[in-house]
Structure 1
Amino acid sequence: MQIRDQIVLVTGGARGLGLAITRTLLAEGARVVVNYLNSAAAAEQLVQQYPEQVFAYQADVTDKAQVQALFAAAKARFGQAIHSVINNALINFEFNGDARPKVEDLTPAIMQQQFDGAVVAALNTTQAALEDMKTAGFGRIVNIGTNLVQNPVVPYHDYTTAKAALLAFTRTAAHDLGQYGINVNMLSGGLLQTTDASKATPDAVFDLIAASTPLRRVTTPEEFAAAIMMFLSPYSRAVTGQNLIVDGGLVKG
């Protein structure tokens, strides 16, 4: 199925990286379900700009009932079920190495918050999508990860551990769901210049990353979003359970 024929859910799709993903999908002609939690004004602006292509819906992706209501509302709006899901939403996190909790400061609650935002949220959207994807014999699920799993140059313990668990879930879900024509993959980035989560990062850190990267620059949200399109297109129909690192070649997968 071509991207232009798909209805794609982007969690956290009204701001930061999610907004870049949404705009890339719109340029491809897709209809986009923009999930948001606190970005109502930004989501409504997208609806005003693209009334035929965008449906915005507020839902906490860590709440299963709210996610199920989101899928039902999107199906009612477009007359078709969601074909593809991009699990992008990031729960209360900033890339600020000075402010990160050290090992001695970690609590189960800190760890659980990021686990819920990554793994539980992806479980909720996957389960909500499953029945219709099985019926259609088609589905694309893309989970957003991080190259910190492979190269934890800054030890964001809670965030990186949750994304490592999401990578494992990506691979086990791909194994389980491939028989139904559902492909599950992960796209992992480095620090992007700039998103809401990376705006607290000092310029010196961006400069260091650029100097260490084969492309000699920091990846932008738009460049990262463009790579997601491969996983949604027919060109990746035999690709599942994979983790593609998109960081300008900084980390080798």
Structure 2
Amino acid sequence: MILKDRVAIVTGGAQGIGRAIVDKFAAEGAAVAVADINREGAEGAAAAQPNAIGLGVDVSDPAAVERMVADTVKRFGRLDILVNNAAIVPFTAWDDVDFAEWRRIMAVNLDGVFLTSRAASDEMRKAGYGRIVNVASNVIVAGTPNLAHYVAAKGGVFGFTRALATELGKYGITVNSVAPGLTETEGVLASPHAAAFDFVQSLQAIPRRGVAADIAPSVAFLASEEAAWVTGSMLVVDGGHTRH
């Protein structure tokens, strides 16, 4: 169990990749705070684990993020790991992206990463230990139509990851990112992105659809002691889609 007795927050943990991360962390021995805008979903995901709590959290709300960290520490005594997975995945042609939608995507997908990292790292610095893993996306490498604001936000997540790793290393905190490719989740299957699976699969070195359980082990590795000498890095997990 590579995360035995660790305490983690996973944002966007009610379904999809986030839920797979919650399940993997619990299987590896971690106590988990499942944070999601969908409180009922977060509580359901937590109820399936032996040592977890579900929290309704809007990661773009500074006060809600502070409460998330405080509630986690109150319940488990400390905070070792933060996984920034919460995100909105839009599907909007560039000509239709107005400033309100641009700001909505940035507020959750990038501002949220700042807010949670600020609150969590303040707590981690007290202990001189921490792991922050940000879920980015391979679209920042490949570029994808109808996702300009999402690509911009996820590119910001990667840049922020590298900068924050530099800032926090001296406190015993590592900061890394995982960049999934198109992944078969409930949200993707219910969106226009599902139509891209066959095309994306044709570009991959591994010719099958990626699933959420393909992503979670990489996040667990970066959150563990096995990655103690890894920081400021991005691990691309996309079946070889962006190898070229």
The two structures share one fold, judged by TM-score above 0.5: yes
- Tell me the amino acid that sits aligned with residue 84 of structure 1: I
Is 1:171 equivalent to 2:170 in the alignment? no
Counterpart of 2:81 in structure 1 is 84
Counterpart of 1:15 in structure 2 is 15
Cα distance in 1, alignment partners of residues 133 and 146 from structure 2: 24
Cα distance in 2, alignment partners of residues 170 and 150 from structure 1: 15
Cα distance in 2, alignment partners of residues 234 and 105 from structure 1: 45
- Tell me the amino acid that sits aligned with residue 197 of structure 1: V
Aligned to 1:197, the other structure's residue is in SS state: helix
Cα offset, 1:158, TM superposition: 0.9
Any unmatched runs of 5+ in structure 1?
95-99
Cα distance in 2, alignment partners of residues 207 and 197 from structure 1: 14
Q: Does the 8 Å contact 1:143/1:166 carry over to 2?
A: yes
Cα distance in 1, alignment partners of residues 147 and 122 from structure 2: 36
Q: Does the 8 Å contact 2:136/2:177 carry over to 1?
A: yes
Q: Percent identity?
A: 32
Counterpart of 2:212 in structure 1 is 221
- Tell me the amino acid that sits aligned with residue 222 of structure 1: A
Any unmatched runs of 5+ in structure 2?
none
Cα distance in 2, alignment partners of residues 232 and 137 from structure 1: 15
Q: 1:133 aligns with which of 118, 124, 137?
A: 124
Aligned pair in 2 of structure 1 residues 131, 70: CA closer, same or farther (>3 Å)? same
Q: 1:103 aligns with which of 94, 106, 112?
A: 94
Q: Does the 8 Å contact 1:191/1:198 carry over to 2?
A: no
Cα offset, 1:252, TM superposition: 2.8
- Tell me the amino acid that sits aligned with residue 87 of structure 2: L
Query: Normalising to structure 1: TM-score of the pair?
Result: 0.90
Aligned to 1:173, the other structure's residue is in SS state: helix
Structural RMSD (CA): 1.8
Is 1:45 equivalent to 2:36 in the alignment? no
Cα distance in 2, alignment partners of residues 114 and 138 from structure 1: 31
Cα distance in 2, alignment partners of residues 195 and 181 from structure 1: 36
Counterpart of 1:118 in structure 2 is 109
Is 1:181 equivalent to 2:172 in the alignment? yes
Aligned pair in 2 of structure 1 residues 198, 242: CA closer, same or farther (>3 Å)? farther
Cα distance in 2, alignment partners of residues 174 and 139 from structure 1: 11
Aligned to 1:5, the other structure's residue is in SS state: coil
Cα distance in 2, alignment partners of residues 26 and 249 from structure 1: 28
Aligned to 1:146, the other structure's residue is in SS state: coil
When the two structures are aligned, how many residues end up with a matched partner?
244
Counterpart of 1:205 in structure 2 is 196
- Tell me the amino acid that sits aligned with residue 60 of structure 1: D
Q: Deviations over 1:78-135 (max 9, x none)?
A: 1x221110000113x34xxxxx332222222211111111221111111111222112
Counterpart of 2:224 in structure 1 is 233
- Tell me the amino acid that sits aligned with residue 116 of structure 2: T
